[in-house]
């Protein structure tokens, strides 16, 4: 099976992407974020940073239906595939948006892979606006399906899930836990008294991260008989592709912002973009962004239309994206000169988000190691 022309993009998906991009532009998401940054200049000392969550933006996102783009129609969603979700994820990155939408998109494909009645019920709740977080991995940071440190005992969960992204923004947690049959997925109310969230100190100002500890927490199974591991493995290509799409969108913002700055910043009575030492790195940024976007779209199309090739394409996309995240972040900050390092500049917000995204779900080196195993 081969992927279709234009990576599966059509008029409906293009309209969806344009609508969401226009919505985020009107929302002025970075301007909404800025007031929350005061006093958080040093993330490693002082009180933990309170996660910024624009609930009004999330409510409007739900009203637009962007959260339900990949939820099947039978569960109240729009019923599109990963190509459409990738288009949305790219716009999230372009706006450096603090939102539970990223996790909801990933959770959609995880629950679709589970394909059980409880999973379908949670998809229905998500279509109505419930936000979901992912508590899937153990302290070792491994992306293997059995890396969880959480144990399931008589319908209750015990242990800690690590590196949970946007744990302070979600209503429900999908938790991977060890059972007597292997690894299964469970749903847990994040607000339950037996669930404690311990925020991590991270430099990314647009996300929060936490360790989540379960002390005999009530949990409802989403999978049984150790099928959770298969679900995680089947959904991993979607997870990697959506994360890579976020990076691609942020990198394109960095490219455009840097090119615009090079046209107006004067040095030696000329715009700095006149000089080869500036224009050449900007061209290199453009090449990196185009490469990553192409691989992201190919990975999304493979997931929707050529599943046998989905894992290979997803590792390629995240490998390229991780490298692009580091390269474009560094060049953008460097070419903005002194202002790029200031706390008031948006450049540093994107730089820190890209540094976090680079390592989320494996950096370029790890992706290439996994890719080698597939070849």
E strand segments, 107-245: 132-135, 151-153, 156-165, 172-179, 182-189, 195-199, 209-218, 220-221
For 14, 206, 261, 326, the CA distances from 353, given in Å and listed in that order, are 26, 7, 20, 10
Ranges in the chain annotated CATH 2.40.110.10: 134-226
| CB crowding 165-199: b at 16 or more within 10 Å, else e | bbbbbbebbbbbbbbeeebbbbbbebeeebbebeb
What class is the 134-226 domain?
A: mainly beta
Contact 86, 241 (CB under 8 A): yes
Ranges in the chain annotated CATH 1.10.540.10: 5-130
Ranges in the chain annotated CATH 1.20.140.10: 229-374
> What number does CATH give the domain 5-130?
1.10.540.10
Other CB atoms within a 10 A radius of the CB of residue 360 amount to 23
**Does the structural domain 229-374 have CATH classification 1.10.300.10?**
no
pLDDT in tens, the chain (375 residues): 677 888 989 999 999 999 999 999 998 888 888 887 766 666 666 666 677 888 999 999 999 999 999 999 999 999 999 999 999 999 999 999 999 999 999 999 999 999 999 999 999 999 999 999 999 999 998 888 889 999 999 889 999 999 999 999 999 999 999 999 999 999 999 999 999 999 998 889 899 999 999 999 999 999 999 999 999 999 999 999 999 999 999 999 999 999 998 886 767 777 666 567 778 998 999 999 999 999 999 999 999 999 999 999 999 999 999 999 999 999 999 988 878 777 778 999 999 999 999 999 999 999 999 999 988
């Amino acid at each position: 099976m081969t992927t279709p022309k234009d990576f599966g993009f059509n008029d409906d998906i293009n309209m969806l992407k344009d609508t969401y991009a226009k919505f985020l532009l009107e929302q002025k998401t970075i301007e909404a974020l800025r007031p929350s940054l005061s006093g958080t200049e040093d993330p490693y000392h002082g009180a933990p940073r309170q996660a910024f969550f624009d609930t009004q933006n999330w409510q409007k996102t739900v009203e637009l239906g962007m959260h339900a783009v990949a939820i099947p129609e039978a569960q109240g969603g729009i019923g599109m595939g990963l190509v459409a979700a990738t288009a949305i994820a790219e716009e999230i990155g372009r706006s450096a948006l603090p939102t539970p939408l990223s996790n909801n998109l990933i959770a959609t494909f995880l629950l679709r892979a589970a394909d059980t009645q409880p999973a379908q019920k949670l998809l229905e709740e998500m279509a109505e606006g419930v936000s979901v977080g992912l508590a899937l991995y153990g302290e070792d940071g491994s992306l293997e399906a059995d890396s969880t440190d959480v144990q399931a005992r008589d319908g209750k969960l015990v242990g800690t899930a690590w590196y949970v992204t946007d744990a302070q923004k979600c209503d429900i947690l999908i938790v991977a836990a060890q059972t007597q049959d292997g690894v299964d997925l469970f749903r847990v109310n994040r607000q339950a008294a037996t669930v404690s969230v311990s925020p991590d100190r991270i430099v990314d100002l647009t996300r929060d991260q936490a360790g989540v500890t379960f002390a005999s927490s009530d949990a409802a199974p989403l999978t049984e008989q150790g099928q959770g591991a298969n679900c995680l493995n089947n959904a991993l290509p979607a997870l990697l592709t959506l994360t890579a799409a976020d990076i691609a969108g942020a990198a394109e913002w960095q490219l455009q912002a840097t090119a615009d700055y090079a046209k107006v910043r004067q040095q030696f009575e000329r715009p700095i973009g006149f000089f080869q030492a500036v224009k050449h790195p900007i061209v290199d940024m453009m090449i990196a962004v185009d490469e990553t976007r192409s691989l992201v779209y190919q990975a999304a199309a493979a997931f929707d239309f050529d599943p046998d090739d989905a894992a290979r394409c997803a590792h390629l996309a995240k490998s390229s994206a991780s490298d692009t995240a580091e390269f474009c972040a560094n060049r953008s900050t460097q070419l903005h000169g002194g202002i790029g390092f200031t706390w008031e500049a948006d450049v540093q917000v994107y730089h820190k988000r890209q540094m976090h995204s680079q390592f989320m779900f494996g950096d370029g080196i790890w992706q290439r190691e996994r890719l080698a195993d597939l070849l």
